[in-house]
């Protein structure tokens, strides 16, 4: 499909941000240059390089290697990209109401790094020289592929908001999420279901399904309805009690909270979630938060807060296709399963280096400030960043960079480690395709932030144009990437 047809088809099917930063942009070969726009032209112009100091300045330590610790997100969230897409395609003026979290964009879009064998973790760093004393680095940590048929059995508890605000589209999307989930279950999976509004109602307790699309389960899903006010505390208490009663060590134990976000997490609700989340050396009943509704009515705070506490994914479903993408046969494993627990990542850089831009949520020289994260099967943690140095004369093709990871087996809790070290010449000679996609996804998120924060139409257009230039460069190197085509189409709606 051409990009013009893609844009038309997306439009036909649709009825608090940080400041915008300069972005890396592919120019030629393996060289990357910083670009911005002048606000009056569609042509990118080179940005002035930052003054990073000299080796002789007291701020520059050109002797001590640098080690940084980093994390992609507290809960592997993926909500804001889906919200942003719908906000733009439905009514782009409402984009101002959508939180744009760059790390969620890196989580949401797929990077097809080569998967390792089962039991391994693949680390793939890629580096590009920007030609102005800065470098672009992307690091992917990839788990082994795992099919729905080969996953462990599941003990799932659906906790569904049935308050009055869920009437209409939200409860319809909740049903669609449940139907997609039902289509992916295997014989022997156990599912419980409770709704909550003024009171909570248990619809299923430890129901063992016969296989995909179990008729008894589908009947309960079809009968879901709304009414009453919101009582989140009772909903969570009931759901975790059901999950605990049916828990088994050889199963994937999850609570799936589905809501339009109309409730708030208080102290008592946080205590319930934390009680069951598990510590770093203990398995837990992880909370997966599913926001439903429209991008303009959905309230994000509930899921963002609850899933941070519950150490699970936060996602948003505002269209049927998204429900099946996340909970259909292919998406179910990545959304609910765990390949490795408590993944901790460190980056070893040459002396004088620092990170000027970073796509993740947390980065520090102190490992105690960084929360380890779980990695799903058939998935990648992806970090995109710009590196600078106060000692450019000390950088050579033989300068080395290392990435280290420690992680825990989700069943045995045995600790493992993996590491990769390579020199700059080797890293810059590697395939740049996924680095270009990372730049495009990063630029897309930052461009949306720039659009939100702009004071006038000219500044908004400039922010979008920078992002579009980066996406088009990535598309030149990978014309078959449907996700890049989608990003391109959304940006063009904003650019009109």
Predicted confidence (pLDDT) at residue 2 exceeds the cutoff of 50:
no
Rounded CA separation 380/271 (Å): 31
Per-residue confidence band for 49, with pLDDT thresholds at 50, 70 and 90: very low
Percent of the chain having pLDDT more than 70? Answer: 86
Cβ partners under 8 Å of residue 213, min gap 6: 182, 183
Distances (CA, A) of 75 to 59, 291, 366, 463: 35, 14, 20, 29
For the four alpha carbons of 292, 294, 296 and 297, in that order, the dihedral sign comes to negative
Three-state DSSP at 36 gives: strand
Average pLDDT over residues 55-73: 83
pLDDT at 20: 29
Confidence check: pLDDT of 18 > 50: no
Give me the sign of the Cα torsion angle 200, 203, 207, 211.
Answer: negative
Q: Which token pair is 9?
A: 């088809």
Strand pairing of 154-161 and 340-349? unpaired
Q: How far apart are CA 135 and CA 424, in angstroms?
A: 10
Sheet containing strand 154-161, strands side by side: 200-208, 190-196, 154-161, 252-259, 286-292, 314-317
Identify the band that residue 478 occupies on the pLDDT scale cut at 50, 70 and 90: low
**440's tokens:** 């495009």
Beta bridge partners of 71: 362
Per-residue model confidence (pLDDT) at position 56: 46
Which of helix, strand or coil describes residue 479? Answer: coil
**Structure confidence at residue 249 (pLDDT):** 86
Q: What is the pTM of this model?
A: 0.87
- 74-83, 319-328, 422-431, range with the lowest pLDDT: 74-83
| Pairing mode, strands 314-317 and 286-292 | parallel
Return the pLDDT at 154.
95
pLDDT tens figures, 303-345: 988 888 888 889 999 999 999 999 998 899 999 998 998 999 9
CB 205 within 8 A of CB 242: yes
Domain annotation for the chain: domains and CATH numbers: 3-145+340-495 (no CATH), 148-336 (3.40.50.410)
**What number is the average pLDDT over the span 180-194?**
97
């Amino acid at each position: 499909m051409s990009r013009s047809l893609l844009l038309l088809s997306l439009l036909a099917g649709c009825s608090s941000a940080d400041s915008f930063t300069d972005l890396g942009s592919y120019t030629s070969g393996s060289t990357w240059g910083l670009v911005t726009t002048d606000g009056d032209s569609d042509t990118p112009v080179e940005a002035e390089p930052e003054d990073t100091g000299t080796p002789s300045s007291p701020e520059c330590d050109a002797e001590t290697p640098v080690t940084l610790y980093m994390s992609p997100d507290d809960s592997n969230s993926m909500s804001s990209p889906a919200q942003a897409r719908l906000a733009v395609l439905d009514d782009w003026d409402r984009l101002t109401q959508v939180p744009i979290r760059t790390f969620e964009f890196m989580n949401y879009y797929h990077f097809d790094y080569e998967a390792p064998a089962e039991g391994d973790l693949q680390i793939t760093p890629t580096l590009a020289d920007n030609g102005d004393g800065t470098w672009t680095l992307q690091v992917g940590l990839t788990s082994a592929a795992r099919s729905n048929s080969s996953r462990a059995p599941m003990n799932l508890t659906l906790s569904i908001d049935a308050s009055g605000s869920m009437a209409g589209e939200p409860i319809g999307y909740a049903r669609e999420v449940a139907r997609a989930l039902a289509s992916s279950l295997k014989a022997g999976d156990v599912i419980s279901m409770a709704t909550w509004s003024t009171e909570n109602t248990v619809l299923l307790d430890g129901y063992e399904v016969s296989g995909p699309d179990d008729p008894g389960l589908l009947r309960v899903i079809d009968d879901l309805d709304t009414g009453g006010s919101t009582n989140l505390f009772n909903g969570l208490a009931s759901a975790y009690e059901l999950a605990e009663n049916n828990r088994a060590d050889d199963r994937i134990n999850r609570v799936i909270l589905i809501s339009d976000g109309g409730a708030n997490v208080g102290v008592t609700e946080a205590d319930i979630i934390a009680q069951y989340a598990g510590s770093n050396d203990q398995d837990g009943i992880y909370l997966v938060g599913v926001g439903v509704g429209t991008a303009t009515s959905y309230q994000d705070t509930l899921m963002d807060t609850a899933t941070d506490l519950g150490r699970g994914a936060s996602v948003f479903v505002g269209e049927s296709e998204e429900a099946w993408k996340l909970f259909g046969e292919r998406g179910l494993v990545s959304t609910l399963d765990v390949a490795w627990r408590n993944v901790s990542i460190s980056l070893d850089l040459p002396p004088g280096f620092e990170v000027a831009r970073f796509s993740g949520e947390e980065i520090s020289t102190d490992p105690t400030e960084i929360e380890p994260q779980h990695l799903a099967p058939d998935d990648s943690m992806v970090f995109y960043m710009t590196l600078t140095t106060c000692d450019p004369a000390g950088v050579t093709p033989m300068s080395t960079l290392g990435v280290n990871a420690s992680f825990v087996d989700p069943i045995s809790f045995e600790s493992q480690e993996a590491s990769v070290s390579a020199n700059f010449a080797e890293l810059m000679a590697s395939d740049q395709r996924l680095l270009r996609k990372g730049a495009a996804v990063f630029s897309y998120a930052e461009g949306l932030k720039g659009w939100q924060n702009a004071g006038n139409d000219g500044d908004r257009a400039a922010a979008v144009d920078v992002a579009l230039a980066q996406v088009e460069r990535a598309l030149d190197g990978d014309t078959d990437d449907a996700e890049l085509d989608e990003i391109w189409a959304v940006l063009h709606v904003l650019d009109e």
